Structure 1
């Protein structure tokens, strides 16, 4: 009776150990489901991003995989221990004596037969447990392969994420440099705008000065025409003066001739006077000739006076014309001075325009340099973007592989759950068999 009680207790303890080994699988599955729900809620609310959610899911999968492997090992160890214990019970010497007792018709024989039935049933349970153990071993191997693939995918994903992070940092640096260049371009554009405004003001001043210069030049042209007319009048007066002078010269020659003749007549009169003595008739002839010459000299003198009067009048006209020319020349000089001042202003404005143009040239060179650097930065950003796109593609592909791996883990987990349910069923059968043995033992008591 004590042996039968020990066997029933042993069977009951075996079932309890197996049940305790399988129960954590259900707890792990429950925790995994809750974890998935929490991560999805945080992701939907925007508390975490996709990368953090992926890391959390990866950590969960790794932890669950480790726990599943540990539980599978523990279950296998428990099942092997239970199987070994059953074999020892069947191979003991007590089993030989039990054959004799089973042939008895009393309560002891019934107890032995009941124990044998329970043992046979338990043997079937142990066989099922062995099959389940093999399946768990296969699942463990599948888990190992899955987690190897998962580690490889995570390694490549980490490399891609690291490359994306480095490229992102490089992009940020390039972006900051491009921003600085854009600020420089903005300042250059502001400087160019100021220079353009200065050029506009200078252009307005130059236009105004040109207008004034044009007016002055027109006046100078008018004054030049007036000067030309005045000079022509002076020339005409000079011609008249010359003509008068020629006439005076002619009259002077006539007077000179008359003077010569008068002198000759005087000489002749002297000679005749000396020769005639008493003869005075010759003096009368000489006197007549002298009178005629005197008349001619008087007429010539009147002509000279007339010519002198005309010459004086012409001289007065010449003086007036000269005064007009002088006034025109003075006015022309004043206008020329004004023109000189205007052109000085124009020169200053031209100098300012030149400085502004030089400043614009410098700003344009700076803009060109900034544009070249921005172009190089954009090329670098494009290269980084291509690398990020390629890394993102790799990450996406690995995420797909990881999804497939997770699906495989899910299927393997479902298989583990199925095997665990079968183990639980076997444990319940073992517990029922132990309960029947216990009940028979109580009846015997």
Structure 2
């Protein structure tokens, strides 16, 4: 039953190798056959179509090169200018002889000239084109290809080209060029069948090569399996086939590996056999060493307990120092905050003093401007007084003139009275002049009174401006004194700010030193804790080592038994 299963496994492996070799070739062959039946056939048909199109275009050019229009004579013949198309047998026969293609000229739907002949050797003329051809070529003006054009019962590949009359867009006829369908299909099938035959031959060769390869591979693999089975059964005397070792493929590498494995196993078994004795001897010495080590480790445990207590005390002291330094840090931080607040207040005072200095300077400028204005007002007042004096003098002159006018009018009135009736008109004028002189005298007296009052007011204004000037000068002196005091205060504030900055720098340096101390104390505390933890771990490890050596002492007997069993196992192999 076991041999049957092995054969089945080897058969499956061969089948898989054959499948790996045959399946891609089979798929590739089928793809090539499919391509030959589709793409290649379509390409060959396209070449036929292109050849027919080229021939039809050339034929059209041969007819169209004659100048003139297409006309139909009374006897039914078709002419192109001076060329008789109905008698162009030599042209169509020449084209057929050179290309093997049938050529036909249609005028309208009827055949006028053709190279095609019936069984009796007569040209096939006068028959109409098919309805589909008429619709596509004559009505739509398109070129048309057909793969089933019947000429006297024989199918042809045909291509139609429309023929136009000058610049007209309506075709007057068409040219047909056709190739024998059976002959072309035979040539196409011959090409495709040749391709398929070549593919089949290549497939058979590939299958044969894959079968030979699978057989050789399976046979070589069988030899390798037999060698491995021999080694697994303990027989190390058999040697690997030299032909398999000389192979330059993966089976050769496998054979070399099996041979190398056999040699290494022989060496290893010999070494193991020698080492088994050494293990027996060393087990006794190791047991004695384990007992001595256990005694030493117990002494180490006592020393480690003492170190662990010292480390715990050191950690406790470090924690207290860290707390004290932390408290000092909090106080330094509060001092720093107070210094920052003082710095802010000093900055605010400095800004306020700067504003005061600026305000005082502006006030001095204002006082200066006021003094200048008062001086201008005083000068203007002096000019006004001068004008008042001049007006007063003019008023006195007017009063003098009015007095004289009054005397003259009085004399005139006297003279008018003497004249009687003849002097009444003059008396009226004299009266008016007297009244005018009285009013002028009265007005000049009023003006004199007003000027007197204006002079008194100007004098009082000048006196007041003098007092104001004195007051402003005194105020200016006070402002200057205030400016001097403010500058002194500003200087003290700046000195205070500089002093606070020095204090702040000192506090900052102190805080930095405090942080370094905190870090150092923290590191010391952490180191102390780590020492305590490490000591605890060492103590635990020492206990574990002691326990392990107790176990080792108890395991020496088991090691001796294992060495005895190992020596017995070596006898299984035949070296």
Q: TM-score, normalised by structure 2?
A: 0.29
Pick the structure with more strand per residue. 2
Higher RCO (C-alpha 8 Å, min separation 6): 1
